[in-house]
C-alpha cells in the first residue's frame, strides 16, 4: 500500500538523497510530478520530499499509476530477486546430494561467474562458502542424530577429515568432536558482573565471546552458560575478558557507540546473515523485522528474522534490540522489554 513519506521517516528519505543502493529492492519511491517510480540509487535528480510516495514493491507502484524509470530500471531489481530465489531453491532441493559450485551453476543454468555474482548479492557469500555452510549444517544434524563423526563427515560431503577440520574452526568455532561433546576440552573464560541493565555474564574462548546475557540473578546466568557448554572447562576469570567488559560498560554509559568485540558463535548460514545485517544497523537507529528480511534478500522471512533475533547469544554486540515491529512498537527481547527500551532510549539520546 502506498503512503506519503511521513516527516519522521528520515532513514527512508536519507537513503533517497544519498542514492543508497543498499535499499534497492527494500522500497521504491514514486514521484508525483513525473509519474515514474525508482529505486533509491537512481541517478536522476532528487525530487522534493513532498512529491514522493513510498511503495513496498513495484506492483504497488504500478497499481498507483506510476511507470518504471528508464534510468534505474526498478523492475530489474524484482527480476534479479526472483532469479536469486530460483538459484537458491536449486541448492535446497539437493540436500541429499551436496553439489560443487560448478554443479550448482550447471543445475541452475548459469555460468559459475554469474552464480557467484548472484550469491554475493544475495548473501554476501560466494557459492563455495554457502556450500561449506550447507555441509557443516548437514554434519551438525547427523551428529545430533547420534551418528559417528566419520559417518557424518562423509554423509555431509566432506571428502576427508582434514577438509572437515579445516572448515570447522570457521563455521563451528570448535573442532567437530568438541562440538559433538558440547565443548569438551574447550576452555571458556567467563565473568559475571553488574551493569546498568542488571547482572550480566560474558564468556569467551581465545577466538572471541560466545555468550553475553543479562538477568537479575547471577545463579541463573551461570546455569544458562553451564547448560549451553555442559562439557567445557568453564573458568571464572575476568582478566582475559576485562578489556571487553570495560568496552561494554563504556557503551552502556553512552561513551562507546561501536562494540568491536570478536565473536565465537555457532549458527546456521541464515542466522549468520541476519545477525550480520543487524550489526550494520547504525547506532541510534532501528529496523523492522520485515525490512531486515528484505535487506537480506528474503522478503517473506520476517518471522524467521524474528526467530534469529530471539536466538542471538550475544546481546549488544549483535544489537538485536534495534529491531522492532513495523508499526514502531517495541517488540519482544530475549533479555526483557524493559532492557530493550532502556537501550533504545540511551542510544537515541547519545546519537549524534
Known catalytic residue at 320 = yes
Question: What's the rounded Cα separation, in Å, for the pair 244 and 246?
Answer: 5
**Catalytically annotated residue among 42, 69, 210, 320:** 320
Residue for grid cell 519482544: 332
Q: Are 173 and 207 in contact (CB under 8 A)?
A: yes
Do the strands 187-195 and 233-236 form a parallel or antiparallel pair, or are they unpaired? parallel
Strand partners, 28: 55
At residue 351, φ and ψ (nearest 5 deg) are -70, 145
Annotated catalytic residue 210: no
At 244, list the grid cell.
Answer: 571487553
Dihedral angle, C-alpha 100, 81, 299, 11, nearest 10 °: 120
- Interatomic CA distance for residues 268 and 307, integer angstroms: 12
- The Cα–Cα gap between 39 and 53 comes to 12
Point out the residues that are catalytic.
38, 320
Amino acid at each position: 500500500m502506498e503512503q506519503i513519506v511521513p516527516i519522521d521517516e528520515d532513514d527512508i528519505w536519507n537513503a533517497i538523497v544519498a542514492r543508497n543502493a543498499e535499499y534497492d529492492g527494500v522500497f521504491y519511491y514514486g514521484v508525483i510530478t513525473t509519474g515514474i517510480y525508482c529505486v533509491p540509487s537512481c541517478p536522476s535528480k532528487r525530487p522534493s520530499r513532498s512529491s514522493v510516495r513510498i511503495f513496498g514493491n513495484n506492483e504497488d507502484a504500478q497499481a498507483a499509476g506510476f511507470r518504471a524509470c528508464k534510468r534505474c530500471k526498478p523492475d530489474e531489481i524484482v527480476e534479479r530477486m526472483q532469479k536469486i530465489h530460483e538459484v537458491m531453491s536449486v541448492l535446497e532441493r539437493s540436500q541429499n546430494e551436496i553439489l560443487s559450485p560448478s554443479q550448482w551453476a550447471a543445475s541452475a543454468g548459469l555460468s559459475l561467474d554469474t552464480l557467484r555474482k548472484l550469491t554475493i548479492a544475495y548473501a554476501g557469500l560466494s557459492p563455495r562458502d554457502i556450500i561449506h555452510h550447507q555441509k557443516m549444517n548437514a554434519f551438525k544434524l547427523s551428529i545430533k542424530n547420534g551418528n559417528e563423526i566419520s559417518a557424518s563427515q562423509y554423509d555431509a560431503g566432506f571428502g576427508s577429515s582434514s577438509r572437515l577440520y579445516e572448515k570447522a574452526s570457521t563455521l563451528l568455532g570448535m573442532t567437530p568432536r568438541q562440538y559433538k561433546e558440547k565443548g569438551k576440552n574447550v576452555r571458556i573464560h567467563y565473568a559475571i558482573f553488574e551493569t546498568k541493565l542488571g547482572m550480566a555474564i560474558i564468556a569467551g574462548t581465545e577466538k572471541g565471546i560466545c555468550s553475553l546475557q543479562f538477568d537479575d540473578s547471577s545463579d541463573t546466568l551461570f546455569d544458562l552458560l553451564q547448560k549451553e557448554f555442559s562439557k567445557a572447562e568453564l573458568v571464572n576469570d575476568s582478566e582475559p575478558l576485562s578489556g571487553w567488559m570495560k568496552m561494554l560498560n563504556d557503551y552502556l554509559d553512552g561513551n562507546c557507540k561501536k562494540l568491536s568485540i570478536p565473536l565465537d558463535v555457532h549458527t546456521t548460514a541464515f542466522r549468520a546473515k541476519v545477525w550480520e545485517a543487524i550489526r550494520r544497523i547504525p547506532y541510534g537507529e532501528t529496523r523492522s523485522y520485515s525490512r531486515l528480511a528484505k535487506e537480506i534478500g528474503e522478503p517473506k522471512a520476517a518471522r524467521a528474522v524474528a526467530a534469529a533475533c530471539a536466538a542471538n547469544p550475544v546481546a549488544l554486540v549483535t544489537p538485536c534490540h534495534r529491531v522492532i515491529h513495523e508499526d514502531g512498537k517495541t517488540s519482544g527481547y530475549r533479555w526483557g522489554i524493559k532492557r530493550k527500551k532502556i537501550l533504545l532510549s540511551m542510544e537515541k539520546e547519545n546519537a549524534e
